[in-house]
Amino acid sequence: MNVLVIGSGGREHALAWKIAASPLVSRLYCAPGNGGIAEIAECIDLKPLDFDAIVRFCREAKIDFVVVGPEDPLVNGLVDRLEREGIKSFGPSAAAARLEGSKGFTKDLCAEFGIPTAAYGRFSDAAAAKAFAREKGAPIVVKADGLAAGKGVIIAETAADAEAAIDEIFSGRFGAAGAEVVIEEFLEGEEASFFALCDGEHALALATAQDHKRVHDGDQGPNTGGMGAYSPAPVLTPDLVERVMREIIEPTVQAMKKRGTPFKGVLFAGLMITEKGPQLIEYNARFGDPETQVLMTRLNSDILPALIATHDGTLDRVALEWKDDAALTVVMAANGYPGDYRKNTEIGGLDAAGRVPNVNIFHAGTCVENGRILSTGGRVLNVTATGATVAAAQESAYRAIALIQWPDGFCRSDIGWRAIERERQTA
Ligand code: AMP
Ligand code: GLY
């Protein structure tokens, strides 16, 4: 069959790499893709929000299945459009993607169906929001309701910070995403990423993972899309996985079905593992980036039948096998990220780095120009390695990074530290 992957990040490179290995695939395309994806798929210069052009291409290239990577096309209805055109795809409808597109929607659903999450209030005017924040006291979390490219969440340490955050969101800086504010109790614990494929009725948990959101070593500095990840995440014990499925994922799948907007695709729960147990921080309606890079690396089974089963409603007949080995990925980002950074800087040494045993490099923001690899974004490369332990995978990843020549880029030097500390304690 012919498959089209939508997106251009490290997540899409990892998905395309895994899909390319499927014996079911005859031709693989990616729109728009990147410098690394170009080596395994035919990259098509289409914008993920240009639905007309995507449909046209699907007809021309006789695409049998579309895999949508990023949230924007999902929230804006790409899957609905493809469905209307009779083209099968992986991902939720716009109505189901509201789990990611509106924090208030998700909090109300949790409240109605008893899904554990931080106490909250929803507000469309600043005075009421401030009164609620004052009453609850700091620390408190202030969020823009809609998609704000990861920048709409402020952890306020003081009441004054909370008020400033509320004013900032209502100032219009986040556009429509800031028309409403959600204020939440601050949860204490360790974060983990949880992924389950869903077909509207059934849910299938994937392997566990954790990412590092902060830009600097020691989990310091501003939040980013993710500076590295690893799988498995030892904090998610088999007991906890079972609880997350029973208390969070399955009730969500049933709630969405009951509301007439069944969720199909991958449900990505950002969790806080608190003393009381797992609590939902937020949902995403897509795969995580960079978590997907480690999940695809550890997956033994063919991913494509599982993705198709989410569309067909046959996920109960799918089982996935995972490698025992751990996987770890280190993100290399352009100097300055997550603030301003330069583009079109040259990256060398990738061939040598890719030859380090057990290493695979997924590209995020790159392009190829006259045979040279250039950076095109903030997060640029995902140097991914496997090993018997997270510590062994980490060693291989950093050995490869030492061979990459990119003076305009940087990476964290401690990806995996929590898992490695746990490995040392149990060794
Ligand atoms: P979100 O975009 O909702 O995932 O939030 C971004 C980050 O803010 C999360 O990954 C957490 O680190 C933090 N965060 C969000 N909500 C809370 C909360 N209620 N308590 C503590 N930390 C939170
Ligand atoms: N790594 C977190 C995310 O994909 O949102």
Q: pLDDT tens-digit profile of 98-108?
A: 999 888 899 99
Looking at the predicted structure, is the pLDDT value of residue 150 above 70? no
- 7: three-class secondary structure by DSSP: strand
How close is the Cα of 147 to the center of ligand 2, in Å? 13
Looking at the predicted structure, is the pLDDT value of residue 29 above 90? yes
Same domain, 302 and 337: no
Q: What is the pLDDT of residues 153-197, one digit of tens each?
A: 889 999 999 999 999 988 888 877 778 899 999 999 999 999 999
- Phi and psi dihedrals of 258, rounded to 5? -60, -35
416 in any annotated domain: yes
313 in any annotated domain: yes
Nearest CA to ligand 1 atom 4: 282
Q: How far apart are CA 240 and CA 242, in angstroms?
A: 5
Task: Tell whether ligand 2 has an atom less than 6 A from the beta carbon of residue 191.
Answer: no
Q: What's the structural domain count of the chain? A: 4
Looking at the predicted structure, is the pLDDT value of residue 28 above 80? yes
**Ligand 2 atom closest to residue 290's alpha carbon, by position in its atom list:** 1
Range of the structural domain that residue 284 is part of: 190-317
Looking at the predicted structure, is the pLDDT value of residue 36 above 90? yes
Q: What is the pLDDT of residues 288-336, one digit of tens each?
A: 999 999 999 999 999 999 999 999 999 999 999 999 999 999 999 999 9
Q: Do 42 and 27 contact (CB within 8 A), yes or no?
A: yes
Task: Tell whether ligand 2 has an atom less than 6 A from the beta carbon of residue 288.
Answer: yes
106 in any annotated domain: no
State the number of CA atoms in the 13 A half-sphere of 211 facing the CB. Answer: 27
68 in any annotated domain: yes
Pairing of strands 140-144, 181-185: antiparallel
Same domain, 411 and 350: yes
Looking at the predicted structure, is the pLDDT value of residue 66 above 70? yes
- Count of all residues that appear for the chain in the document: 427
Same domain, 140 and 195: no
What's the whole-number mean pLDDT along residues 374-379? 97
Residue 38: the pLDDT is: 97
Q: What is the pLDDT of residues 220-247, one digit of tens each?
A: 998 899 999 999 999 999 999 999 999 9
97 in any annotated domain: no
Same domain, 229 and 280: yes
118 in any annotated domain: no
Same domain, 154 and 211: no
**The CA-based dihedral angle spanning residues 74, 79, 84, 85, taken in that order and rounded to the nearest 10 degrees:** 120
Structure tokens at 87: 């083209």
Query: Cα 156 vs. chain centroid, distance in angstroms?
Result: 24
Same domain, 351 and 418: yes
46 in any annotated domain: yes
Which residue(s) pair with 117 in the sheet?
280
The CATH number for 373's domain is: 3.90.600.10
Structure tokens at 248: 């969070």
Nearest CA to ligand 1 atom 3: 282
Same domain, 60 and 22: yes
**Ligand 1 atom closest to residue 270's alpha carbon, by position in its atom list:** 4
Same domain, 290 and 334: no
What's the whole-number mean pLDDT along residues 40-67? 98
Same domain, 209 and 291: yes
Rounded percentage of the chain residues whose pLDDT exceeds 90: 90
Q: What share of the chain is helix, strand, coil (3-state, %, to 5)?
A: 35, 30, 35
Q: How far apart are CA 202 and CA 248, in angstroms?
A: 13
Tell which wins on pLDDT, 103 or 37: 37
